[in-house]
Amino acid sequence: MNQSIQTDEIKRTPMVAVMLIGAFVGLLNETLLATALPSIMNDFGIVENQVQWLTTAFLLTNGVMIPISAFLIERFTTRQLFITALSIFATGTFVASISHTFELLLVARVIQASGSGIMLPLMMTVLLKVFPIEKRGAAMGMAGIVISFAPAIGPTLSGWLLEYFSWRGLFYVVLPIVIITIILAALFVKNVTEQTYPKIDILSILLSSFGFGGLLYGFSSIGGGHGDSEASATFDSQALAIIIGAAIILTIFIIRQLKLKKPMLEFRVFKYPIFSLSLVITMIVLMALIGAETMLPLYMQNTRGFSPLESGMMLLPGAIVMGIMSPITGILFDKFGAKWLAASGMAIVTVTTFLFTNLSMDTAYSFLVVIYAVRMFGLSLVMMPVMTDGLNQLPPEWHPHGTAMANTMQQVSASIGTAILITVMTTAASNYQPEQTAMAGLSEAEAINQLATGAAMNGYNAAFLVATGLSIVGLGLSFFLKTKTRKEQKSKQAA
């Protein structure tokens, strides 16, 4: 029996608010531990390569769960799935807060991600379901706050909390919020998604998990041994082998999905050109975005000597700009369409990214804050309008697959972007040749310090130059989007 109800009967505001909170907390945890990793290393007596798995495992599990979410959305009711996902996330958060070993903390992070990986695609599918097409921009703008603001605010929030509490305090703060959200979900979340009860295809789940998981792990591993050239070569060759293996598995997965009557993940969404184009632009935007969010904290902390909190505070105004602008750009999208918003935003991103290609030891803190904030303003004009435009092209029954595909590709592009930029950074740093005149008259210690600083700067600037190139490609592609008027949108809805 179909348990969904008509969208005009739903008090959608409290329902959407609850789902936004749930997805926000889930995505916040992607970066919440960023500044807490040194404290965890000290507590458990582990090294950097081990502690990094707390972030890597979370992202990998997310990347595995998101493609499966389309199947789960069609199998279970909205209410069942959202409350279950929140409960799984709460369980992981509780286990993390009482973890007395690193291994238990790692398991807790995997449990957390198993829940959070479902919440975002489910929230986006619900927004597409309960809002008419001419109001989706504003609705997806609210989702943009979650997608962009939550991960951006994570390092700043954790840096502030660690001034007063231990790393366990991060989980103590999150847990009561999640419990309250579960109670609110029981009161306000209704069943709006259509249940088609697809059969469980174990082989598809395994292929998806190993394919997407392997791809994410492979790209995130590139450059893992960059402190040592021999270690780097070993890491990179292993990562390349994993990426090739994952690509083969994904090819088998895609072929299987195209042959199944009820696929776990519908790849026919790519037959809609604007959806495909919007996905490519979104991936390019995320790869460029990762340039700033990965490189600037490294530059500030490792090269300039700023504290994690100072580094986090530098990113905060940009995160706030993104949070404020997301709903505004959603309203603008409903009125004007995606094309000119995306083109304007990509132009801003291109210029501001290029301004980061000339970093030095004397670059002002205020310059970094302002340019990063302006850059995030540009990104806010692109992210959700382009994604919403793409998802609007799909028939309603494919919305779960469209949102799952969009979110999966975001995870993959973030990993690819990080891998590319770290590789460029380390390669440029290792190939740095200083001007001999600049080294003249320096003591051996001063010369070594000058060489290390110059190499680091060369690496950061080269990485931002590549990010600028990606932004230019995104700018060019944005002109192929179509401008839709409100009249055309209403006509499409009526049809």
- pLDDT tens digit string along 347-374? 999 999 999 999 888 999 999 999 999 9
State pTM to two decimals.
Answer: 0.80
Q: With a cut of 80, say whether residue 156 has pLDDT above it.
A: no
Q: With a cut of 50, say whether residue 454 has pLDDT above it.
A: yes
Return the minimum-mean-pLDDT range out of 113-117, 359-363, 443-447. Answer: 443-447
pLDDT in the model for residue 304: 87
Q: Are 243 and 292 within 8 A, CB to CB? A: no
Q: What top-level class would CATH report for the domain 269-495?
A: mainly alpha
Q: Are 464 and 357 within 8 A, CB to CB? A: yes
- Top pLDDT among 341 and 12 is at 341
* Distance between CA atoms of residues 65 and 62, nearest Å: 5
pLDDT in the model for residue 204: 92
- pLDDT tens digit string along 263-298? 888 999 999 999 999 999 999 888 877 767 778 877
Return the minimum-mean-pLDDT range out of 75-84, 244-253, 455-464. Answer: 455-464
pLDDT in the model for residue 437: 59
Q: Quick one: pLDDT band at residue 9, thresholds 50, 70, 90?
A: very low
pLDDT in the model for residue 440: 59
Q: With a cut of 70, say whether residue 235 has pLDDT above it.
A: no
Averaged pLDDT for residues 8-23? 81
What the block records as the tokens of 16 is: 């959407």
Give the residue extent of every domain in the chain: 1-198, 200-263, 269-495
Task: Give the whole-number percent of the chain exceeding pLDDT 70.
Answer: 90
Which is nearest to 136 in space by CA: 455, 450, 396? 396
Return the minimum-mean-pLDDT range out of 81-90, 144-153, 168-177, 441-450. Answer: 441-450
Rounded mean pLDDT of the chain? 84
pLDDT in the model for residue 219: 81
Give the CA dihedral 436, 442, 444, 447, nearest 10 degrees.
-50
Radius of gyration of the chain (CA): 23
Q: Quick one: pLDDT band at residue 199, thresholds 50, 70, 90?
A: confident
pLDDT in the model for residue 38: 78
Q: With a cut of 90, say whether residue 137 has pLDDT above it.
A: no
Q: Quick one: pLDDT band at residue 120, thresholds 50, 70, 90?
A: confident
Q: Quick one: pLDDT band at residue 206, thresholds 50, 70, 90?
A: very high
CATH topology agreement for domains 1-198 and 269-495: yes
Q: Quick one: pLDDT band at residue 136, thresholds 50, 70, 90?
A: confident
Any idea which architecture 1-198 has in CATH? Up-down Bundle (1.20)
Report for 40-54, 188-202, 218-232: range of highest mean pLDDT: 188-202
Q: Are 4 and 68 within 8 A, CB to CB? A: no
* Distance between CA atoms of residues 69 and 76, nearest Å: 10
